Structure formats: C-alpha cells, structure tokens
Structure 1
Amino acid sequence: MPLFDQLSIRYKLVVLLGLSLGLGLCVSALVALYSTWAAERQSSLRALHQIAAIISENMRAALAFQDAQSAANMLAPLHTNPHIRYAVVESENGQLLGQYQAPGTTEPAALAWRAQIDQRPGRPGELHEAMERSYHYVIYPIDFDGKRIGTLALLADNDAMYAKMRQFFVLQGVASALILASLLLLSWRLQLIFTRPILQLLALMRRIGRSKDYTPVLATQRTDEFGELYRGFNAMLQEIRLRDEQLSRLATTDTLTGLANRGHALATLQAMATRAQRKREPMGVILLDVDHFKRINDSWGHAAGDLVLQDMARILQANIRSYDLAARFGGEEFLVLCDGADLAITTDMAERIRASVASHSFRLAGGQVLHVTVSLGLHVGSTAPETALALIEAADQALYRAKQAGRDRVEST
C-alpha cells in the first residue's frame, strides 16, 4: 500500500481506527438487520395465525353444513386488510367451499398460490406456515367435536414487513453514519494523545539535524512509555553534547596547558582580523618564548618543563582580558591575540605578563623552585584576513630582537 505508507502517522491511526469502527458498525448493523428481519417474520406469521384462528372459529358451521355462501361471507371482510392477497376454505375431502382474492389479484396468480399451498410439505390438514420471498401463508386445520372437517389457508404479501425493514435500514444507516462520524472525531482527538509526543520528538530531531545544536531537551511529566522514550532521548542528547564538547576541546585545546592550540589560534586570528577590518580598529599580537627552556628540560627533566608550561598558561590567563585569546603556539612558544587593542594596551599587557613570569616561583614536584623569564615581541595593526599571518610574522621579528637584546624584555615592531 504505497499511498498508505506515505501518510503521516496521525492519518494512519485515523484511517485504521475509522476502518475498525466502520467494520464493527457494519457487523453490528447486519446483526441488527437480521434480528429485525427474524422478528418481523415471526410477527407477520403470528398475525396471520391470529386472523386464521378467528375465521376458523366462525367457519365451522359453514363447513358442517357445506354452506358455500356463508363461507364466502366470512372471507369477504378480509378486504379490510390490504396485505392479505388470497384465502381459501376446503372441506376435509378437498372440495372448495369458498375463496377470497384481493382486488387486483389475477386468476393465474390465485391458481399459482393455491397450487403452492396444495404442494405444502407434511400431511394434509396439518397446521403449516411458510415464509417465501414475496409472500407468507398459513394453513389452519378446522375441527369440530374432535373431528377434522376442513382447512383454511391464508396468504399475505410481505410488503408491510419489507416497509418496516426499509425504515429500519434507513434509521440504522443514519444512526451508523452519525455514530461513525462521532467516533471518527473522537478518534482524531484520541490519536493526538498518541501522536503528539512522537511528533514533538520528530520536530526536535529535525531541528537538531538542521542546527546541530544538542542543547534542547524534551520536558515531560509523563510516566508511560513515551515518558521513558523522552528521558532516553534526553540522555542520548546529553551524551552527544558531552562527546561533542570533548571533541571540540580536543580539537581546539592544547592538552598540556589547557590553552587554545595552534589551529584554534589561527582560526581566531582570522576572525579578529575580519572584525578589525570591518570596525577599522587595530588589534594586538604578542608572541612570547620561555628563555633557555632547553636548559630546564636538560637539567630538571621534561616533567619540570611541563610544569613550567602549565604555570605559564595560568599566568597568561590571569593577565589578559576575558575576550582576548592565549594559545600555546608550539613547544615553549605562546601567542596572545588582543582584540581591539592599540599599541599602549598591547604593550602594557605584554609588560604585565613579563613581570608576572619573572616574579613567579615555579615549584617542581620535588620541592625545588625555579625562576624563569620570557621574551616577548608584539605587533599592533590591521590587515585583511587573507594576510593575517603577517601580524604573527611581524611579532615574531620583534621577539627575535628581544632575544638578541638580552631576553626578559618586550620589543615591538
């Protein structure tokens, strides 16, 4: 069912509920229709029995004296019942004593009905009834003083029964249609109870797929399976969010110092250069290097060198502004990007860093204390993002001059 497969789940539920309700109503309508038909059948035969019993009671004298005129007179009032089409009274030996034909009944039809009655199953003179497609009849024995003296047969059409059946069918159809419409409306409301949580979950999944933002959560107080599904989905989002944050940290952070790594620093440099160009503002770049770092590794080991680098990271973070960026640029070399900073601000920041390093006591794991210095080169300017690396190159040249001039100093271009 390709078309059904393309429907939304809410419409699928409505269709399935509608089909189930429609099938149930059809079955119940058929059962009710059959029950009504059976009841009307019995009612029609019972009514004909009652008429036959009354006529038979009055017909005994006419049969006893073979009075055909009296028999005809007794059958004549049947014209008041428009559904009785034919009646016949016979003596015990089969002699016709009287008959009645409703107005409009042809002689061939009457003969055919009589032949049908004469061919009834069972023994002659027995009480018998039958329901055919278009008519029903009863054959009623007439006794006098315990002796069978004749038989009365009444035949009536089924028009009254079919009229009631048609009326019932129309009423049943209207009632079923109203019930089905009401249940469909109710099913539409009920399906919202089941589909709303699924559609909310689907909407959030699509939004996350477009934005790649894993921070939203599905708030719910439900305690059913949907609530469990929501909580599981939220837990999955949290795991993805934590994983992405971890991957982002690994991609942008130097694992030893916790500062930004070289790749993240270069990307930030491009963004700052673009902003500086747009705002027509300068930006500062500080490149610094730990003096004689190789001696520290050679004398105290690489663990001591790592400790120095970690303390350097804390000193840098303490001496820059919240919107500046400190990065480990490689080995013992660090980079500071000063957003919107002129020469005075950048120089003051560089001097604070130099002084803080010079006054800091680097305590090693064995209790030893080291004192180290740094050389810094800075450059302040503004350039197109495509040539942003020129800022670092200029700062590197200033750093070279600082080392040449004796280290533990700040030089600018």
Structure 2
Amino acid sequence: MGCKQNKKESQSEMETAKTESEQNPIEETIFGEMPDGTKVKKFTLKNEAGMEVDVITYGGIITRWTAPDKQGNYEDIVLGFDRLEQYLDGSPYFGALIGRYGNRIAKGKFSLDGETYTLATNDGNNHLHGGEKGFDKVIWNAIPKNTGAGATLELTYTSEDGEEGYPGKLDVKVTYTLTNENELDIQYEAVTDKPTVVNLTQHSYFNLSGQLSKPVLDHEIYLNADTYLPVDGGLIPTGEFREVAGTPFDFKEPKSIGEEIEADNEQLDLGGGYDHCWVLNEGEEDFGLAASAYHPNTGRLLEVYTNEPGIQFYSGNFLDGTLPAKDGGAYGKRSGFCLETQHYPDSPNQANFPSVRLNPGETYSTRTMFRLSTKQ
C-alpha cells in the first residue's frame, strides 16, 4: 500500500512541476560577467509552438531567435554573438534596445523651452542611438512573468537626469511577450520628471534564411509607406517628405532588397544602400501592418505591426566581414536587415515632424509586434 501511495505522490509532484513549467516557459542562466563583476543574465522565452527568444540584461539584447521554415525546421534568424565579451568589444547595435533617442540628432544638439542641450557626437558630427553609453550598453533589471498572453520579460531601467546629456530622470519599462502565435509583442513605456525627448526602438538584424553570414538581398520587403525622408550627407533628414513612387524606395509592392539597391540614385549613394526612415501610412485603429519581409527559399515571413509613425529600413550596408557570425562565418556586407519602428530622425530639431517631447505627468507608450509565419 505504501509503495502505491508513494507512486501516486511522485506522479502528482511530476504533474505539478510540469504545470509550473508550462506556466513559466522562461529559463534563466548567466550569459557572462561585466568587467566590474556584474553578472549578465540570459532569459530564454519559449512558446508552445517551439519558438525561442533569448534576451540578455545587457542592453536588453535579443541574442537568438528561432523560427520554423516551411518544412518545420527551426533556425536562428537574428545576427548577434555567442559571448558577452563580443558585445562589449564593439557591436553595431545587434538586437539591442535603443534609447534615449533612436536614430540621429543633428550636430548632437536640441532645444527645449529655450534651453539648448548638448549630446555626444558619436556618428560623425551627429548624435546616434542615445550616445556613447545608450540603453544598448546598460544593465537592465529583468523580471520574468506569465501574463496569460505568453512568456513575458519585463525590463526596467532608470536613466538619471543629465545622463548622456538628456534632461530629466527617465524611468523606462520595456516588456517582451512571446505568444503561442509566434508573435513577439514589445511594449515601451517611460515617465520623466522634467520635459525631455524620447524615441525608443529595437535594433534586431534579421536574416530569415537562417544562414546568418549570407547576404539578405534575396529577401522580399514590403513597406506600407507612400513617402520617405531623404537625407543629407550625414544621414540627417532634409525635412522633405518625398514620394516613393517611381524610385528605388518604393516597396508598396514586395520586391527583393537587391532589386534596386545598386541603382543610380543619390539617396542610395548617401546611405550606401537603404538606411532611411519611411513615413508609415495610417494603420488600422492606429496599430497596423507597417512592413513585412519574406524569404522565398525557406518560406519564412516576418510581419511588423506598430503604432509608431515611421520605420527605419536598414540593409546592413556597414557590416564589413570583421565580426564573427554565430554560424561560424563572418557578418559580411548586407548579411542582415533592420526594421526599426520609431519616430523620425532628428525630430527634436524639425518642427514639421511629429513631436517626441515627453512632459512630467505624461506616459510615453508605444507598441510594436513582430509576427513570424511561413508560406509555400
């Protein structure tokens, strides 16, 4: 009798453990250690379909993201590194959270209420992605949760008043949720104690082929935009809203990245390819399809939904083969592409762009969702 009772208890304990595992599909490990001894944690979000997303507390970086092809084979689809030291040695923002201001601010200066603020000029004469130590290089506090929507990781960080030259103490929360529908839902929130500017985004480089060191020129891109923002020699918007029709910047019908990337076009010459912000058309209920990317050979389809007004499409032009790839090769030119949902570059200095100002008592709140599926 005693043996039967123990067997039942053991079976009950196993079922309980299984239930807890299903409710909290997040594994926590140590990814590495900072020079000051701070441990960098890695959280692996999983869903019922088999998708996995690895996020580390350094920079809120997505280091790995697996997705099935049309045969059901799972492969990593984002560029990144295997070790923390490689991110610390220099990364082109692989998979990172970007802030306080994603993209460029001209000459590293902007004014609010008559006061001029000076930022680092870490991209030629301009300010890029939050400065010398933006949100991509700080340690975020991470709390794994189960919200019922899926495996959820809540990341928080407090940027002190004056950090990287920005005014106001900014409390930031970014929530990653991996749903069972193969969606990564990202919620951005921030509050401030002084008027400031905010523009947060996620900087994953995708290669849907799963062969991360191979060029992405065969990927077919769709952008839900009738206009884009032409730039000057420093990749700062000129202020013009230019029609995409009849130009290599027209992705209203899907076409491969490589189809016109080498066309004789001044804007392509300035960016070394695509590195521009598209002005998104109005979406359904202000949260609509902004972009998609399709890889014909594997059948992988990535769709991007957002309530942001713009999306920066970057074709990996500055990758040069010097960085080691996770698949054993090297990240050569155009081996990854980015679809960064955001407000427009240099908005603090351009009155005709949507405002990026955040005041005390207000909450900055934006949402972007990446959905992966396959088609034959």
Normalised to the residue count of structure 1, the TM-score between the two structures is 0.18
**Per chain length, whose mean CA-contact separation is higher, i.e. which structure has more relative contact order (CA < 8 Å, sep 6+)?**
2
**Higher alpha-carbon Rg:** 1
Tell me the TM-score normalized by structure 2.
0.20
Higher strand share: 2
Task: Name whichever structure is richer in helix by fraction.
Answer: 1
